[in-house]
Structure 1
Amino acid sequence: MLPRYDPNDSETGMKLLEDLTTNACQLQQQVLEEIVKQNVQTEYLRSFLNGHSDKKLFKEKVPIVNYEDIKPYIERIANGESSEIISSQPITELLTSSGTSGGQPKMMPSTAEDLDRKTFFYNLLVPVMNKYVDGLDQGKGMYLLFIKPEIITPAGLTARPVLTSYYKSNNFRNRPFNRFNIYTSPDETILCSDSKQSMYCQLLCGLVQRDEVLRVGAVFASAFLRAIKFLEENWREMCSNIRTSHVSDWITDPSCRNAVSLILAKPNSDLADLIEYECGSKSWEGIIKKLWPRTKYIEVIVTGSMAQYIPTLEFYSGGIPLVSTMYASSECYFGINFKPLSKPSDEEDKREGMQTVDLVDVKLGHYYELVVTTFTGLYRYRVGDILRVAGFHNKAPQFRFVHRRNVVLSIDTDKTNEEDLLNAVTQAKRLLEPLGFLVTEYTSYADTSSIPGHYVLFWELKMKGNNDFPEFDHTIMEQCCSTVEELLDSVYRRCRKKDNSIGPLEIRVVKNGTFDALMDFCVSQGSSVNQYKTPRCIKSEEAIKILDAKVVGRFFSKNVPFWEPFRIETK
């Protein structure tokens, strides 16, 4: 049973958080006991526990699983079988994750009660932010929020991303307005299915209400930076709208148009002149502070792969703090940030061995992979996130996100692992074999120096039978780029085709001997000569400079890869 409290009552909220963290061990045991008792008669748990609900037996008998282990059960529900396969409560929808399985997004079961639980955790952010930031009740948030495509399964269940589910829910649309729920974006602009119209209207509303904006942000750092680029391309048109109080004719979504028209209300030449002056400057350094001068923080996820965007965000921010408030995924919500103003950082994984421990038994400084059990049908499920214990608040551990397991490349919501990259490169390089070329080595990195970012592959080539350097066929090399993209997963292809959040993939051909120079560099940094393997993803700026210095040809994909909303196979 979730505790009830008023999110605007900060004192009560903080007391609740103190109670939750002080009694973390007992609460964890109570929640686990409730989950097991509630679901022990499901087909999945019955196969391991035979109807017994003892927590100790649960930990001994129920295996730790990956998505592929539970995918068949979820697909059966999607195709019409009873929710009781995995959950005693009705599965009301399936939440699609940004991680992929077999080229398609994963699907996570969700219930009506689960949405209430997520809303409760979201409201816990309010007292924490009020503790660190004064005056949040004296303005609005300019949050750029968007919905994504959804499908209906053969059983009639909706399958969609978790945030799309929330924005379309009554919990969001009928939310009691507190300091965290007042946005410059009308709901109609957030719920617009045309991402370009949605982006334009939300930014326009944010500019009109600039004097009320106390915080800005988006879910991911990459999305917020795409919004800044969109503003760079469209500010003149927005100024015209503000000057005339007329919404551009190409905004054809009627709900969007009506909502924005109400906010534009009347012509405002002074505001249009101010925006033109700031946006017309030679440099956009500090543009966020200039356009929204009362902004207290930028709320975006900047951990894990998003950490690569921190320097760019700091350039645009004008010194405004970057804040990640919550740690959540499609599977469930994991925690909130008790130190929201602490600087984000990224680090390497240094695990030694693996053993399963309860949440409250983790050790300071140690690295762990997250395993969750939920009310909605996930039991001892490996999320794939690697965390480091950074401290404790009362009895509850505080974690620093390190990275996603097995992910080597990521620009936006895409997560490309080493196996998928290898498969794509293997297929693409076959195009060169009839010409007598061999790809002797390759590596990659996510280039975020421009917006949108894009994947870069470094290839070292040689001719069969001799050491002459090959002459490039531009058409074939461009086909190699396109082939790699076509073989990457559905989320990557969606980001490329529909979202335009990833740019065309690039192959940079390097001189013979380049990867020997890369090995020399890695060994000089402490790698073992005997155990050295070419890294399939490069993050070191020095290493990238070594590779870039030896580039002799650059080629880009000329085609946008095929993508369509995923389908659920019927059995």
Structure 2
Amino acid sequence: MGIWPFKTRGCSSPFNSPSLQPEAEYPGGLRCRDAPAGLAALALLLLLLLLCARRCAPAAGGGRAGPRWLLVLRHRLALRALGWAAGRQRRGLERELEAGAVRRSQERLLRRLLGGAGAPEPDPETFRRRRPLVGPGGAGGESPALRPGLRALLLSACSSEPPLQGSVLYLDVLGRAHPEALSPLGTARFSWAPGRSLPAAAWPLPTLYCAPPAEAGTVPSRAVALYVQLLFALRQRALRVLEAGLVSELYDALGLLRAGWEGLAQDLASGKLSRRLELPAETRRRLDARLAPDTARAAVLRAECARGWDGLARRLWPRLRVVVAAEPSSEHFYGDALRAAECQGLPFYSPFYGAAGALLGVNLWPEQPDTRYLLCSGWAFCEFLPVGPGSQGPPETLLLSDVCQGQEYELVLTAQPGLYRCRVGEVLKVAGFHDRCPVVQPVRRLSQTLSVRGEGIPEEGFYRSLRRAVALWPGARLVDYVCAESSLLGASSGASAPHYQVFVELQGLRDLSEGQRYKLDQCLQEDFPVYKSFRFKGSVGPLRLHLVAAGAFMELRDAVGLPAPMARVLRETRPLHFIQSRVIS
């Protein structure tokens, strides 16, 4: 069998059709019929799609224009094209996992990168000797411009571009695990970037999304964009998927539901956006034109919110199947909070792994509780620095084909156009292998370690200690938090020993006593012996805990702009001064 973790014979995947059923299994994967009749059927499919694409495009944006049957027809035809593209991509990916193919794929990719730079190093070993490592922050870049629809689906069948390959593989995996997830208008997306729309996980298949239209991505505020997206999602009772670029975006959207469900119900009933929302006049006009009064849905929203928050998502959308969102280590807090309340009982699926602006891997196991990603050897040239015991000395990297199961490594990427090798600052654990290709789990970000004297408290460790301390504060619920080292404050930190500054937003408490504040420092001492010894010696001072106003962290993410994983340890003065300005106790 190939790598795919789902059965294909008798599978209820929406891609299955007489022209796409596997003929036979072979070591490289699944064989699709490539007969002339199949090509003729594909040509007819393309013609039908081209004929109906323009007429049903407004309906795919979530508005009232365009007949429903035309949208459904376009969606079903697109699924056929997607099944064809996914079959080719599966076979190509499985070929890359054969013996020796992983190393050859990385070498081809490196030659392509170096060709663009005009530096013809002959092999990876020579390349590593000649090019020094640079620190985090050197790699990255703008995401490519993505145009959704039929053309993207057709290109994806033979393209080597990671955004195309990744999205098609994701749709194939999602459709096999949750067949209903690929229903037309069955996905609600929550994301925002200033001045532009971000590509969705399923961007080649825009008929999946219930709305809002592109105008919602151009509103001037993240909070307003999430509100608009939430309102359009609430109109659709038959949602199957809640999707967000980051789990924090879904957390904030459902936080808006908690805080403003009365206003949302009023907007549903009236079919108009509230005048309290700051929107450009033309954007408001276009959005209002796609709404219609729905008093019945407004009544459902009021009734379900009055019952409480636990399991609210499934009560509002009874056919909901899965939450799709990236959940990096710094955002586990948001995922845990959603699983315990609004999204109770729903599986979470993080489809992609990326770093420094590069797409590196795909999650082929959506039903597994521990998220892991198959690193795709043709997507980026990766090297690995061993971390932990025995890793001292000059840094010597390993290639993708040389890593060992169970070990942790710092990721090194070669940036376009192949001029330098960048230490990304991300630590991965090799959880296993699919054939010859490693399957990894992100462990931590090196930049998110608290260390004023070399004590090294990682972000996940601090989070565990903070949760334990909050449990000792009767009636308190943690809403959000960040930390900073006192050195970032400069002279304003005072003459005391170096210490941690911690900012928390709580529900259920309006103030903290000195005894309650000390509980967090005490938990850190119990959990981290090195920190305790420095506190005992006086070389590290007691942490200072600050309570901030409600909504402060949502405002902070709005002020930051471009979506990025939440920084638990602040390294810049601008966000630190912003959160300091929201301190109430």
The TM-score by the shorter chain falls in which range?
0.5 to 0.7
Secondary structure of the equivalent of 1:365? coil
What's 1:177 paired with? 205
Would the aligned equivalents of 2:178 and 2:321 in 1 still touch at CA under 8 Å?
yes
* 1:293–1:514 Cα change, 3 Å: closer
What's 1:379 paired with? 420
What's 1:424 paired with? 488
* 1:176–1:306 Cα change, 3 Å: closer
Within a 5 Å distance, the mapping from 1:549-564 to structure 2 comes to none
Letter in 1 for 2:486: L
Q: CA deviation at 1:134?
A: 1.5
Would the aligned equivalents of 1:222 and 1:309 in 2 still touch at CA under 8 Å?
yes
Within a 5 Å distance, the mapping from 1:238-249 to structure 2 comes to 238-249=264-275
Q: Return the alpha-carbon distance in structure 1 between the equivalents of residues 512 and 488 of structure 2.
A: 13
Which among 35, 39, 52 is matched to residue 113 of structure 2? 35
Which among 308, 327, 339 is matched to residue 333 of structure 2? 308
Which among 279, 288, 294 is matched to residue 268 of structure 1? 294
What's 2:63 paired with? none
Would the aligned equivalents of 2:216 and 2:225 in 1 still touch at CA under 8 Å?
yes
**CA RMSD in angstroms, aligned pairs only:** 4.4
Q: Return the alpha-carbon distance in structure 1 between the equivalents of residues 202 and 245 of structure 2.
A: 21
What's 2:215 paired with? 188
Within a 5 Å distance, the mapping from 1:305-454 to structure 2 comes to 305-314=330-339, 315-344=341-370, 350=388, 352-353=390-391, 355-377=396-418, 379-408=420-449, 421-430=485-494, 439-440=496-497, 442-443=499-500, 447=504
* 1:54–1:38 Cα change, 3 Å: farther
Q: Return the alpha-carbon distance in structure 2 between the equivalents of residues 565 and 215 of structure 1.
A: 25
Which among 185, 190, 212 is matched to residue 144 of structure 1? 190
* 1:307–1:344 Cα change, 3 Å: farther
What's 1:293 paired with? 318
Q: Return the alpha-carbon distance in structure 2 between the equivalents of residues 174 and 319 of structure 1.
A: 24
Q: Return the alpha-carbon distance in structure 2 between the equivalents of residues 188 and 513 of structure 1.
A: 48
Letter in 2 for 1:422: S
Q: Return the alpha-carbon distance in structure 2 between the equivalents of residues 236 and 191 of structure 1.
A: 25
Q: CA deviation at 1:62?
A: 0.4
Would the aligned equivalents of 1:141 and 1:214 in 2 still touch at CA under 8 Å?
yes
* 1:165–1:230 Cα change, 3 Å: closer
Would the aligned equivalents of 2:505 and 2:549 in 1 still touch at CA under 8 Å?
no
Would the aligned equivalents of 1:40 and 1:52 in 2 still touch at CA under 8 Å?
no
Would the aligned equivalents of 1:192 and 1:198 in 2 still touch at CA under 8 Å?
yes
Q: CA deviation at 1:206?
A: 0.4
- Aligned-pair identity in percent equals 19
Q: Return the alpha-carbon distance in structure 2 between the equivalents of residues 408 and 450 of structure 1.
A: 27
Structure 2's unaligned 5+ residue stretches are 1-79, 145-158, 373-386, 451-458, 464-479, 537-541, 563-585
Would the aligned equivalents of 1:443 and 1:534 in 2 still touch at CA under 8 Å?
no
What's 2:582 paired with? none
What's 1:279 paired with? 305
Secondary structure of the equivalent of 1:406? helix
Would the aligned equivalents of 1:370 and 1:383 in 2 still touch at CA under 8 Å?
yes
Q: Does 1:66 align with 2:135?
A: yes
Q: CA deviation at 1:39?
A: 1.2
Q: CA deviation at 1:532?
A: 4.2
Deviations 1:339-368 (A, max 9, x none): 12221479xx85641641001211000000
Deviations 1:463-511 (A, max 9, x none): xxxxxxxxxxxxxxxxxxxxxxxxxxxxxxxxxxxxxxxxx9x998569
Q: CA deviation at 1:565?
A: 8.5
Letter in 2 for 1:300: A
* 1:391–1:366 Cα change, 3 Å: same
Deviations 1:83-140 (A, max 9, x none): xxxxxxxxxx7579xxxxxxxxxxxxxxxxx995423323321112222222222242
Would the aligned equivalents of 2:401 and 2:436 in 1 still touch at CA under 8 Å?
yes
Secondary structure of the equivalent of 1:403? strand
What's 1:48 paired with? none
Q: CA deviation at 1:250?
A: 4.0
Letter in 2 for 1:442: H
Would the aligned equivalents of 1:360 and 1:396 in 2 still touch at CA under 8 Å?
yes
- Structure number with higher strand proportion: 1
Query: Could you tell me the TM-score, scaled by structure 1's length?
Result: 0.61
Structure 1's unaligned 5+ residue stretches are 42-50, 75-92, 97-113, 150-163, 434-438, 452-503, 536-546, 567-571
* 1:513–1:226 Cα change, 3 Å: closer
Letter in 1 for 2:265: C
Letter in 2 for 1:291: L
Q: CA deviation at 1:38?
A: 2.5
Q: CA deviation at 1:375?
A: 3.4
What's 1:135 paired with? 180
Secondary structure of the equivalent of 2:398? coil
Secondary structure of the equivalent of 1:317? coil
What's 1:229 paired with? 255
* 1:258–1:441 Cα change, 3 Å: same
Q: CA deviation at 1:319?
A: 0.3
Secondary structure of the equivalent of 1:123? helix
Q: Return the alpha-carbon distance in structure 1 between the equivalents of residues 447 and 546 of structure 2.
A: 28
Q: Does 1:16 align with 2:16?
A: no
* 1:335–1:183 Cα change, 3 Å: farther
Secondary structure of the equivalent of 2:194? coil
Secondary structure of the equivalent of 1:135? helix
Q: Return the alpha-carbon distance in structure 2 between the equivalents of residues 507 and 408 of structure 1.
A: 26
Secondary structure of the equivalent of 2:449? strand
What's 2:82 paired with? 7
Please say which of residues 376-385 and 26-35 is displaced more in the overlay: 376-385
Deviations 1:115-173 (A, max 9, x none): 95423323321112222222222242111020136xxxxxxxxxxxxxx5754xxxx89
Which among 215, 228, 231 is matched to residue 204 of structure 1? 231
Secondary structure of the equivalent of 1:389? strand
Q: CA deviation at 1:195?
A: 2.4
Q: Return the alpha-carbon distance in structure 1 between the equivalents of residues 368 and 202 of structure 2.
A: 33
Q: Return the alpha-carbon distance in structure 1 between the equivalents of residues 166 and 324 of structure 2.
A: 17
Secondary structure of the equivalent of 2:499? strand
* 1:280–1:260 Cα change, 3 Å: farther
* 1:254–1:554 Cα change, 3 Å: closer
Would the aligned equivalents of 1:351 and 1:368 in 2 still touch at CA under 8 Å?
no
